Amino acid sequence: MKISLVRQDRDDDIMPYDVSTETSVGDLKAIIAAETDLPPASFTIVHNDTPLLDDSKTLGAAGISDGDLMSLVLQSASSSSSNNPPQGQGSSDASVNAQVEELRQRLLASPEMQRTYGERMPDLLSNLNNPTAFRETVISLETQRRAAQDQHDTQLAALNNDVNEENQAKILEMIRQEQIDREMETTMQTNPELFGRVTMLYVDVHVNGTPVKAFVDSGAQATIMSPDCAERCNVTRLIDRRWQGTARGVGTARILGRVHRAALRLGHDEVPCAFTVMEGKDVDLLLGLDMLKRYQACIDLAQGRLVFPGGQSVPFLPESEIPKSFEEAAAQEPTVAGPGDVEDMKGDGMMWTFCSCSSTKKEPLMLIA
């Protein structure tokens, strides 16, 4: 269910949350604390003028339903001191230790809270199994938060005392950044998957009877094969060197040539396929748009399959079956120096450059990618 909270000190700051009716009041306070940097003990959640004081009670049991709007009431220092008479430093430390340990136990029991805290406070999560280190980290983070807040308030107060354009621009920038930070925190809370890493699409194929894991890339114009893969599939002898040249994108890579025709098996069907053999790619085989369009392939993400006319389909590989080197290749593309005096021709997302034909025939070279 979706609920919203309004901070007592910021009437225009509405914080949305997507929670379950089985979420406890204590867990909700911990999630709010992670997003707002407010300690759970420093505020109270009020629903229909009733404070939610029992942290163990679920939201459903507390009468909270979908779409409800609640208040976040901050406890002032004066009210805290009047409700809790001073009992010495030892009593205060014991209370802090109890609150920190309660937070640690909740984190241990809630993977959802661990994901939320892990994104923003990795040091805290790394000390989760060490109570002493966990307490020290919490105190350090709280000290840093208070110092940053004090500095922010001081800067804002100083800027407000001067109405010149430069200071007003700084105030607007601070407000803009605060809004961006709130949006990011809300997204981390409600849609954490948006910050995750998406697994690319790979399928099992056979080239000349040799099994190969092929990367499906509808954004690439040409189907590309690495020299090592060409060697394993015994098609090196079929490379037409007249098609050599340079591909330019983020970096450059040398094109060794083109295999005009080789047997590609997808599932139970075997079809002819052309490959551009290119250095500088850690992926063995990249199925580009040329072959995908030629055989009318459909990337069906709902079924997780590469579908062809007639009902034939090939499943996309799970992450566990994709070689790590393939996924890591996207993070760092190697660069290979290209030859000079070449003609640049631009394709979708990559510059394809072909050298002049080495054959004595006066045949024009065609751009295949």
The reported pLDDT for the residue numbered 201 is 92
Flag whether 186 is in a domain. Answer: yes
| Same domain, residue pair 256 and 342 | yes
Low-confidence ranges of the chain (pLDDT < 70): 8-13, 76-95, 158-164, 249-251, 281, 326-369
| Same domain, residue pair 237 and 119 | no
| Same domain, residue pair 100 and 165 | yes
CATH code of the domain containing 222: 2.40.70.10
Q: With contact defined as beta carbons under 8 Å apart, do 347 and 360 qualify?
A: no
Q: Is 78 helix (H, G, I), strand (E, B) or coil?
A: helix
| Same domain, residue pair 233 and 129 | no
| Same domain, residue pair 26 and 172 | yes
The reported pLDDT for the residue numbered 202 is 93
Whether pTM > 0.75 for this model: the answer is: no
- State how far the Cα of 189 lies from the Cα of 200, in Å rounded to an integer: 25
Domain that includes residue 52, residue range: 2-195
Listed in sequence order, the residues at least 6 apart from 287 whose beta carbon sits closer than 8 Å to its beta carbon are: 203, 205, 214, 215, 216, 217, 223, 297
Flag whether 368 is in a domain. Answer: no
| Same domain, residue pair 160 and 14 | yes
The reported pLDDT for the residue numbered 87 is 45
Listed in sequence order, the residues at least 6 apart from 350 whose beta carbon sits closer than 8 Å to its beta carbon are: 220, 221, 247, 248, 249, 369
Question: What residues does 286 pair with on adjacent strands?
Answer: 215, 224
Active-site annotation holds for 18 = no
Of 129, 162, 195, which residue is a domain's last?
A: 195
- State how far the Cα of 148 lies from the Cα of 221, in Å rounded to an integer: 50
| Same domain, residue pair 35 and 137 | yes
The reported pLDDT for the residue numbered 329 is 57
Catalytic residue among 162, 217, 282, 284: 217
